[in-house]
């Protein structure tokens, strides 16, 4: 009986080691979203000032064509890293990109786009506490969603979009949904 008592910590360590090893094989960016294959949350966001005839972003704007919805903020360091690539995607003309300026002063968001370039077809303002971003299940900026022609969320990417993410994840999904 005493031997079993001595083996208990070794067995517990073995079980914990298996959990940790399993965790090492997982991608931390793959956070499941309950919104995948569900309609985009209802929204009607005010426009960012200084963007001409942009009327903001509403749920209805995300129907009829496959599109990307990018959550960003002028305060977001990773958004600065991602932004030049979003401008490149815009220049390719493959898919419209819509922005949600999250938890930001609208004037700062507008100034940030003037400084870094504006890749967005439409931009809606989601001030603190960021109710729309909460409805999207956003955990931090930047996050990018692929929305199909019917306004259904098909994919969620957490973190900056770069060439690798575009080539190996987003573009294949967009091509498949555009058929």
Query: What does the pLDDT read at residue 18?
Result: 64
Q: What's the pLDDT tens digit per position in 98-150?
A: 999 999 999 999 999 999 999 999 999 999 888 999 999 999 999 999 999 99
Q: Does domain 28-178 have CATH number 3.40.30.10?
A: yes
Would you say residue 8 has pLDDT above 90?
Answer: no
pTM of the model: 0.82
d(CA 57, CA 23): 38
Residue 169 to residue 179: CA distance in whole angstroms: 16
Both tokens assigned to 95: 């898919």
Residue predicted with more confidence, 23 or 175: 175
Domain ranges of the chain: 28-178
Q: Which two tokens stand for residue 146?
A: 């692929």
Mean pLDDT of 141-170: 97
Digit-coded pLDDT (tens) for 28-81: 555 556 789 999 999 999 999 989 888 999 999 999 999 999 999 999 999 999
* pLDDT of res. 35: 80
The per-residue pLDDT for 13 is: 63
Query: Residue 19 pLDDT > 70, yes or no?
Result: no
For position 34, what pLDDT does the model report? 73
User: What pLDDT sits at residue 44?
Assistant: 96
Which helix (H) or strand (E) element contains residue 11?
helix 2-24
Per-residue confidence (pLDDT) for residue 33, from 0 to 100:
65
Q: In what order do the strands lie in the sheet with 122-126?
A: 38-39, 152-158, 143-147, 67-72, 97-102, 122-126, 44-47, 57-58
**Rounded Cα–Cα distance for residues 54 and 134 (Å):** 23
């Amino acid at each position: 009986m005493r031997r079993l008592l001595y083996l208990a910590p070794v067995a517990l360590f073995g079980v914990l080691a298996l959990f940790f090893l399993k965790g090492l094989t997982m991608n931390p960016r793959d956070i499941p979203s309950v919104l995948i294959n569900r309609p985009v949350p209802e929204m009607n966001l005010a426009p960012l000032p200084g963007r001409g005839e942009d009327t903001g972003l509403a749920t209805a704007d995300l129907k009829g064509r496959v599109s990307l919805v990018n959550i960003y903020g002028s305060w977001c360091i990773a958004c600065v890293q991602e932004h030049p690539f979003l401008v490149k995607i815009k220049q390719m003309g493959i898919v419209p990109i819509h922005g949600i300026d999250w938890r930001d002063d609208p004037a700062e968001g507008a100034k940030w786009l003037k400084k870094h370039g504006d890749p967005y077809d439409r931009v809606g303002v989601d001030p603190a506490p960021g109710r729309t971003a909460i409805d999207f299940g956003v955990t931090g900026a930047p996050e990018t969603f692929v929305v199909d022609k019917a306004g259904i969320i098909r994919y969620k990417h957490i973190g900056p979009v770069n060439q690798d993410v575009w080539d190996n994840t987003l573009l294949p999904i967009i091509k498949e949904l555009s058929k």
